[in-house]
């Protein structure tokens, strides 16, 4: 009982964190139909800065890391990413009113990773002084790309079967390159490479890192506004999407938390790392995922998958998921 109360109080405290507060603030602004707009150029720049910061730090840290330590978490990332899509597609497509290709695209988006959710978690861990291996955020593509690939392959198999005869083979390589070329992964990987091979410490410490938290608050505000605005997309599709979008992030996060815990026991993976793994699994892609899926699974209805992800999935992943995993870690690892 005390444990639960303790858990709840820890949970609530985190709601005052700037990342969450700005997210909720953005939703309120949109709900009150405020005319405040964050210009698109600013939003894109915030995203770039965040991914560059995550990439640079990852690159700088991987230099000194034992590559072997990364192996198990990386495998978990790949497995979780694929599993979310496979299981999600199966479950969702059985639900009444849900088209199979929409189900696949939606679970693809939930299997992929949101850089801004990840950044919010990193900032909140810092606030709580929970440490993690600095290369953990660099596991992002290990979960993101496989999830998108599985979704696109599944959708193609499904569509091919529907049309019979037309057995258009799905080529995996173009999906990978198109993911890597997306603005989010490009920025992250460029940051990683610069961190690994050059000496960017001076701009990292004087620019990318100090602006990180502030720009994240602007980003969260924007995402809150967008989440509310896109809610009516969700009204156009079956109610089951809202149900899936509410629970899937937490289920995914908890599964990844469990597997992360195994890695903790086996290889000493840090509690902070376990939390971030859960956050990645619980997040759903907001920047690169949607256009990738839109181009690769044209028949899927974007109102279904973007509505689910942006309006419900992401707010739940950030506002419920992150505090949940942190509180859980505090209980489990006695932080």
Partner 1 sequence: MTFKAAKVVIITEKVILEQVAQIIEAMGATGYTVFAAGGKGSRGVRAAGRAAVVDGFSNVQIEVITATHDTAEKIAVEVADRFFQNYSGITYLEDVEILRSHKF
Q: Which parts of this chain interact with Na ion (CB under 5 A)?
A: 283
Taking the complex as a whole, how short is the minimal distance between the CB of residue 38 and partner 1, in angstroms? Answer: 4
Measured from the Cβ of residue 209, the count of other Cβ atoms closer than 10 Å reads: 14
Distances (CA, A) of 322 to 113, 121, 122, 124, 198: 14, 6, 10, 8, 33
By CB under 8 A, the residues from 146 to 185 that bind partner 1 are 183
Dihedrals phi, psi of 237, to nearest 5 degrees: -120, 175
Selection from partner 1, Na ion, a second copy, none that 214 binds (CB < 5 to 8 A by kind) is a second copy
Taking the complex as a whole, how short is the minimal distance between the CB of residue 168 and Na ion, in angstroms? Answer: 28
By CB under 8 A, the residues from 299 to 328 that bind partner 1 are 299, 302-303, 306, 310
Q: Whole-angstrom Cα distance, residue 50 to residue 286?
A: 14
Measured from the Cβ of residue 9, the count of other Cβ atoms closer than 10 Å reads: 10
Selection from partner 1, a second copy, Na ion, none that 299 binds (CB < 5 to 8 A by kind) is partner 1
Q: Which two tokens stand for residue 108?
A: 């693809």
Dihedrals phi, psi of 213, to nearest 5 degrees: -65, -45
Euclidean distance between the first and the last CA atom of the chain, given in angstroms as a whole number: 19
Question: Binding residue for a second copy (CB under 8 A) from 146, 182, 253, 271?
Answer: 182
Pick between residue 66 and residue 205 the one whose CB is nearest to a second copy: 205
Measured from the Cβ of residue 174, the count of other Cβ atoms closer than 10 Å reads: 11
Q: Of the listed pieces 54-62, 70-78, 226-234, 271-279, which binds partner 1 according to CB under 8 A?
A: 226-234
Is there binding between residue 34 and a second copy (CB under 8 A)? yes
CB 113 within 8 A of CB 144: yes
Is there binding between residue 17 and a second copy (CB under 8 A)? yes
Nearest to 120 by CA among 194, 261, 32, 217: 217
Selection from Na ion, partner 1, a second copy, none that 71 binds (CB < 5 to 8 A by kind) is none
Q: Whole-angstrom Cα distance, residue 129 to residue 290?
A: 33
Contact positions vs partner 1 (CB under 8 A): 37-40, 42-44, 183, 222-223, 225-226, 230, 233, 286-287, 290-291, 294-295, 298-299, 302-303, 306, 310
Contact positions vs a second copy (CB under 8 A): 15-18, 20-22, 25, 28-29, 32-42, 44-45, 48, 127, 180-183, 186-187, 190, 193-194, 197-200, 202-203, 206-208, 210-211, 213-215, 217, 221
């Amino acid at each position: 009982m005390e444990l639960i109360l303790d858990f709840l109080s820890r949970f609530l405290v985190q709601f005052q964190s700037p990342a969450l507060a700005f997210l909720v603030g953005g939703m309120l602004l949109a709900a009150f139909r405020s005319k405040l707009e964050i210009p698109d150029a600013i939003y894109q720049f915030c995203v770039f800065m965040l991914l560059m910061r995550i990439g640079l730090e990852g690159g700088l840290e991987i230099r000194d890391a034992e590559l072997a330590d990364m192996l198990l978490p990386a495998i978990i990332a790949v497995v979780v990413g694929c599993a979310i899509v496979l299981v999600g597609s199966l479950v969702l497509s059985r639900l009444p009113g849900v088209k199979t290709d929409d189900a696949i695209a939606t679970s693809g988006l939930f299997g992929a990773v949101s850089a801004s959710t990840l950044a919010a978690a990193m900032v909140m861990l810092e606030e709580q002084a929970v440490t993690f291996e600095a290369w953990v955020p660099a596991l992002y593509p290990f979960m993101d790309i496989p999830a998108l690939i599985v979704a696109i392959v599944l959708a193609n198999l499904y569509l091919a079967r529907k049309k019979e005869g037309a057995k258009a083979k799905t080529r995996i390589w173009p999906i990978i390159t198109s993911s890597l070329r997306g603005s989010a992964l490009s920025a992250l990987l460029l940051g990683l490479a610069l961190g690994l091979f050059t000496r960017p410490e001076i701009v990292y410490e004087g620019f990318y890192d100090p602006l990180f938290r502030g720009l994240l608050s602007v980003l969260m505000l924007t995402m809150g506004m967008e989440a509310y605005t896109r809610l009516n997309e969700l009204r156009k599709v079956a109610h089951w999407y809202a149900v899936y979008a509410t629970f899937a992030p937490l289920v995914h996060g908890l599964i990844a938390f469990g597997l992360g815990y195994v890695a903790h026991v086996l290889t000493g993976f840090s509690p902070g790392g376990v939390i971030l793994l859960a956050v990645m699994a619980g997040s759903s892609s907001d920047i690169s995922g949607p256009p990738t899926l839109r181009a690769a699974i044209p028949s899927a209805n974007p109102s279904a998958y973007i509505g689910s992800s942006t309006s419900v999935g992401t707010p739940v992943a950030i506002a419920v998921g992150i505090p949940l995993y942190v509180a859980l870690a505090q209980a489990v690892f006695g932080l």
